[in-house]
Amino acid sequence: MTGRPGRTGRSGSQAGAGDLLELVRNGRAVTRGALQQATGLSRATVGQRLDRLFRAGWLREGAGGPVGSPLGGRPSITLEFDDSHAVVLAADLDTRHARAAVLSLTGEILAEHAGPLVVEDGPEAVLGELGRWFAELPAKAGHRAAEVCGIGLAVPGPVDRETGRVVQPPIMPGWDGYDIRSRLSRAFTEHTGAPAVPVLVDNDADLMAYGEQRTGHPDCTAFVLVKVSTGIGAGVVVDGSIYRGVDGGAGDIGHIRVGADALCRCGSYGCLAAVASGGAVARRLAASGVPATSGSDVRDLLAAGHPQAAALAREAGRQVGDVLATVVTLLNPGVLMIAGDLAGTPFLTGVRELLYQRALPRSTAHLEVVTSRLGERAGLIGAGALVVEHLYAPERVEERLVAMGV
């Protein structure tokens, strides 16, 4: 979870310890001399600000770099972000199950747990259970709960970034406007005895897109991920940042009307999710006598090579591909990634059939259509990255250093 390559710190006397840490984290300046050049600060000032980061345990000295002068001399000592001083907890909620993990500050999953967790049971029960999971995870990775510096949570609904509350979620009854941050923070403290830590909440497709883009496509400046599971949602990453819209509603393509008469869980008729999601495919299979109640059941049938499930998944892919032709024309992404329970060959084939048929050649000339690389861990990695970027943003570094008395 390195800093975003495009971000730059302030220069001159305004550059603080957080700006220096950012430059080291994103690899733009990893020696004292390079930091002086990048910021215009004096050697003494750079030394003073680095000293604060060393005392906080956030920086360490690495191996000597190459000798900069042809006359030889002592190699420069490189600086490294020390990711061993803390860990992050993350969880990814789906409609009927969840995954949780403890991650290093550089995004490595150190330990994880998955199990049934029904979002319809409501936030009190679900977040309380997550608190129990979180209490066990640090020890599995050889860490203490007190080393956790933050928690990230991915949820299957639109999220107001400022408040961390879901807003009118179609498939999360009882969650609308609920204070998720406070409840999850309290659950973590209740089950661990550790101090409260910041909790960040975001949409699952957004965080999957964030994790996949940073991990596998860091040079892609316009990245779209479509998650097709019990519902359908999309995450968009532009210039290294999640695009959320004005109130967190961007990417909710599952509720675009496609002209069908099927009733959606949101209460409207004709939504894309009502006819082409994993849940919709499961209902069609069940109606023909095939046991299926959710997107995960469809995933299992597809893995087993079930011919009817494959045919319905391909048709669902065509319906989604029709909508994605508009998305691709509007956003002109470099990568379109299909993820979720239906992200297999039949569905992807259907998407490509309609996408390339309906979209202008100009929009798809440089487009890669791929499936998920991180699989079920994408949301966890994205949630962890969100927490790290929040906690180690330059302005927040200064606040935290002051709070630590450093």
Read off the pLDDT of residues 326-382 as tens digits, 9 standing for 90 and up.
999 999 999 999 999 999 999 999 999 999 999 999 999 999 999 999 999 999 999
Residue 112 CA: distances (Å) to CA of 102, 171, 345:
6, 25, 28
Copy the structure tokens of residue 286: 């069940």
Nearest in space to 308 (alpha carbons), one of 346, 345, 274, 348 = 346
Residue type, 307: P
CA distance 250 to 203: 10
> Within 13 Å of residue 267, how many CA atoms lie on the same side as its CB?
4
Can you say how many angstroms the Cα of residue 179 is from the centroid of all Cα atoms in its chain? 20
Question: In which order are the strands placed within the sheet that holds 232-238?
Answer: 241-242, 232-238, 222-228, 335-339, 368-371
CA distance 375 to 334: 20
Q: What are phi and psi of 324, to 5 degrees?
A: -70, -20
Nearest in space to 392 (alpha carbons), one of 242, 217, 200 = 200
Banded pLDDT at 216 (limits 50, 70, 90): very high
Residue 84 CA: distances (Å) to CA of 14, 63, 95, 144, 405:
29, 17, 34, 12, 20
CA distance 242 to 245: 9
Question: Above 50 in pLDDT, residue 30?
Answer: yes
For range 287-304, the mean pLDDT: 94
For range 31-48, the mean pLDDT: 95
Question: Above 60 in pLDDT, residue 80?
Answer: yes
Residue 101 contacts residue 111 (beta carbons within 8 Å): yes
Per-residue pLDDT at 170 = 85
Per-residue pLDDT at 67 = 47
Q: Could you give the angle at which helices 295-303 and 278-287 cross, rounded to 10 degrees? A: 70
Q: What is the pLDDT of residues 177-209, one digit of tens each?
A: 999 999 999 999 999 999 999 999 999 999 999
> Within 13 Å of residue 308, how many CA atoms lie on the same side as its CB?
12
Q: What is the pLDDT of residues 51-62, one digit of tens each?
A: 999 999 999 998
CA distance 333 to 363: 8
CA distance 316 to 308: 12
Question: Above 90 in pLDDT, residue 72?
Answer: no
Per-residue pLDDT at 8 = 46
**Is 6 exposed, middle or buried, given 0-12, 13-18 or 19+ CB atoms closer than 10 A?**
exposed
pTM: predicted TM-score of the whole model, two decimal places: 0.91
Least confident piece of the model among 63-67, 191-195, 215-219: 63-67
